[in-house]
Amino acid sequence: MPDGTALNAFRESTRKWIRDNFPGSLKGKGLGYEGDADSGLAKDLDVWRARLAGQGWGAPTWPKEYGGAGLSQSEARIINDELIAAGAFNPISMLSGMGITMVGPTVLEYGTEDQKRRHLPGIASGEVRWCLGLSEPNAGSDLASLATKAEDNGDHFVLNGQKTWTSGANISQWCGAVVRTDPKAKKRDGISFVMLPMDQPGVRTRPIKLIAGASPFCETFFTDAIAEKRDLLGELNDGWSVVKRLLQHERQSQTGSRVAASGEKPTPIQELAKTYVGTNADGTLADADLRLRIADHLMDARAHTLTIARITAEAKGNVQVSAAASILKNSATKVAQIKAELTLELMGAQGLGWEGDAFTNKELGAVREWLSGKAMSIYGGSFEIQNNIISKNILGLPETTQKG
């Protein structure tokens, strides 16, 4: 781990590099802007993505030979902090879909050298988007009940079945899927994790509409789809171990850690409240009850941020994904959902608009964020599932859920 002097020098060089390379046209923009109709901005975004990828900053802690920069966690945090300070953002995590946060880290741990060299550089550069085929219509929280099967056919598997809630499946090039390879084994013992290209006749996707409007979710259908044997991740019939680790990485990515996802700095909720609700003569928020609840929320948010910092510090720069991610995932969910509720409340009628010139973009975004945020306590493992993990793996309480 670099010492303080080395980190200070790295911060200065990072600040200069961002100043010299970040396109000014993208300042104040953020993730999702790549879909804008302005071709000039789309071109600038691709230039910025390529520059970040050239630095290895799409996945800065990954080894250089796999598209990363071989940096420490401390250096990666400096990059993120300096991007935020400059009003810049890093689009690669979003462009890779589930690649940076989930697939890549799991391939680094379980993949063969061939798999790492074939798949990781495309993820780290944001050029290849990944989705994950996990949940099924009859296998959600009880994922081990999955029915999608993969039959051995020499040098490849033939997949048949259905997945649901596959985020970004309709725009992804690759999919990591858990499938049943031994129907006679116990349900957790006959599962394997395979990787397969989405652009093939045996794969069909259908978007799922949500109440918040835009939706990343899809149903995915496999009909004699092909997954090569060389893209089996981990051991045959030991996919349960692989997917458990992958889900730990997912929870880690949902802990609410500050990321450079947008060049626009959000307005603090207490300042937003003063704008909509008004203030007393002494400058305090006019609504005393709302003032108290916002203060409680800000304390919870600060406690969550400090807990992330403490866990990171205790790891001495070598952050390991563990059951603690379940604590942080539930804490992040609570903080985000309460903030969305408070924001709608303080906006009053202006927080309930769906369209029209009577509402600002921030107001229209608030109601959509409130609606989409309801899913936080479900996706990535439900709030209750995380509590079970905390009780068993951290508190040491007895197993009370179904075994199998």
- 136 φ/ψ angles, rounded to the nearest 5 degrees: -135, 165
Single out the catalytic residue among 82, 250, 314, 345.
Answer: 250
Q: Give 12-61 as a DSSP string.
A: HHHHHHHHHHS-GGGTT-BTTGGG-S-HHHHHHHHHHHHHHHHHTTTSTT
Strand 130-133 vs strand 174-180: parallel, antiparallel, or unpaired? parallel
Residue linked to tokens 């940076």: 100
Residue (of 27, 19, 57, 69) closest to 44 by Cα position: 27
Dist. CA 397–CA 388, nearest whole Å: 9
How far, in Å, CA of 153 to CA of 202, rounded? Answer: 15
Residue carrying the six token digits 């039959």: 151
CA–CA gap between residue 66 and residue 144 (Å, rounded): 31
Cite the DSSP H helix spans in 278-382.
Answer: 288-314, 324-347, 361-372
How far, in Å, CA of 243 to CA of 241, rounded? 6
What CA–CA distances, in Å, run from 88 to 15, 22, 124? 11, 7, 18
**In angstroms, how far is the first alpha carbon of the chain from the final one?**
42
Q: Tell me if residue 250 is catalytic.
A: yes
For residue 363, give the nearest of 267, 295, 283 by alpha carbon. Answer: 267
**What would the DSSP string read from start to end of 123-191?**
HHTT-S-EEEE--BTTBSSSGGG---EEEE-SSEEEEEEEEE--TTGGG-SEEEEEEES-TTS-TTTSE
Measure CA 386 to chain center. 17
Query: Which residues are annotated as catalytic?
Result: 250
